[in-house]
Amino acid sequence: MQYHAANTDSLMSITNRPDLVFERGEGSWLYDHQGKAYLDFIQGWAVNTLGHCPPEIAAALTAQVGKLINPSPAFYNGPMIELASLLTANSVFDRVFFANTGAEANEGAIKLARKWGRLHKDGAYEIITFGHSFHGRTLATMSASGKAGWDTIYAPQVPGFPKAIYNDIATVNEKIGPKTVAVMLEPVQGEGGVIPADIEFLKALRELTTARGILLIVDEVQTGMGRTGKLFAYEHAGILPDIMTLAKGIGGGVPLAALLAREEICCFEPGDQGGTYNGNPLMTAVGAAVLKRLLAPGFLSGVEARGQYLSKRLLELSAKHGQKGERGSGLLRALVLDDERGPEIVRRALEGGPKGLLLNAPRPNLLRFMPALNVSEAEIDQMIAMLDALLAK
């Protein structure tokens, strides 16, 4: 049965979707309207931390939905307090503001830095970001992003985001001036092609920003919540950022995001920041359930171990098919192809059978892997076998 085009005519066309409808998900597997199974190494773009429909999330939603869905962000609620406390107890940050999307959390980070600049840096407002970075799709976060073409598509941009070169500390130093208030970066550039920041670069960036009296903001929307094998990716470098944003993995599939900051930086006053759904108990109850699972003994070391296993298997595959190796951190990895077959492989992986495979090609010569953090070695082996067959053609 084909889904007739007329059925989808009511949706705005914002991406080229394949002609199928997903109806059910379980762990690493998705099932479409014809019952075909797909091994999912996209997981909602590194979102479904515990896979599709995990019992922890079902239980948290079911328990909360019968108790309280939305008292209004003007009041405290239990899950909001619990999740904020868990986040501050397990990071270097002291306070949390909840949001709904990564872009919204980043907007909050930009506002917090600008307010801090107004109070403490003589009105400095510029935030240095990086070429090929991705920070979201609002006007300010598109302006902060270093994605090609984004400077003109909805021009004029929001001013105040000079771009430096990733992993090149000298270019950051050059961009710092009297108007600079912060540097913002992804510890691994995800959409830009799974490019990890060097540990030495992160350390140098913290030293430089401290010496110049400006803030360091880490956008951990994709790298946070265990994705790289540590709870947060900044931990790999042992640095102390001033501000961090989270989204994607924190909700495990539901819309939830967070802005975290150290006490000295928290300068929002009542009325400065808000949002109708921010901190609602239905979503924060899910966030708390996800985080508790990540904090359970052995979970993060398991992510680390399976990240290394995926890396090893990808390297073997690369060598076998004469490709160009792999890179990444934890369970955020990419296979580098020796040609531009990425999009074609993604399409054949989806359409192939009897079982499909869901992959993503952020660049034509790159395949990205973002499985559930509880993916099994057997599922990794199954993905490698499917990819082996695809690369052979």
- For ligand PLP, which is the closer residue by CB, 49 or 106? 106
**From 219, 230, 232, 268, the catalytic residue:** 219
Q: Does the active-site annotation cover 369?
A: no
Phi and psi (nearest 5°) for 179?
-90, -5
Q: Does the active-site annotation cover 134?
A: yes
Pick out residues in 183-212 that bind ligand PLP (CB under 6 A).
186, 190-191
Q: Give the shortest CB-37-to-ligand PLP separation in angstroms.
A: 26
Q: Does the active-site annotation cover 219?
A: yes
The answer to whether residue 222 forms part of the interface with ligand PLP (CB under 6 A) is yes
Half-sphere exposure of 126 (CA within 13 A, CB side): 15
Q: Give the shortest CB-260-to-ligand PLP separation in angstroms.
A: 14
CA 255, CA 171: separation in Å to the nearest integer? Answer: 35
String of contacts with ligand PLP for each residue 83-102, x by CB under 6 A: ------------------xx
Q: Candidates 202-210, 217-225, 236-244, 274-282 — which segment interacts with ligand PLP by CB under 6 A? A: 217-225
- For ligand PLP, which is the closer residue by CB, 41 or 313? 41
Q: Give the shortest CB-11-to-ligand PLP separation in angstroms.
A: 18
Pick out residues in 285-324 that bind ligand PLP (CB under 6 A).
none
**From 134, 161, 232, 369, the catalytic residue:** 134
Give the residue among 19, 41, 115 at the shortest CA–CA distance from 381: 41
The answer to whether residue 361 forms part of the interface with ligand PLP (CB under 6 A) is no
Total number of residues that touch ligand PLP (CB under 6 A): 15
Residues recognised as catalytic: 134, 219, 248
Summarize as ranges the residues that interact with ligand PLP (CB under 6 A): 101-103, 106, 134-136, 186, 190-191, 219, 221-222, 247-248
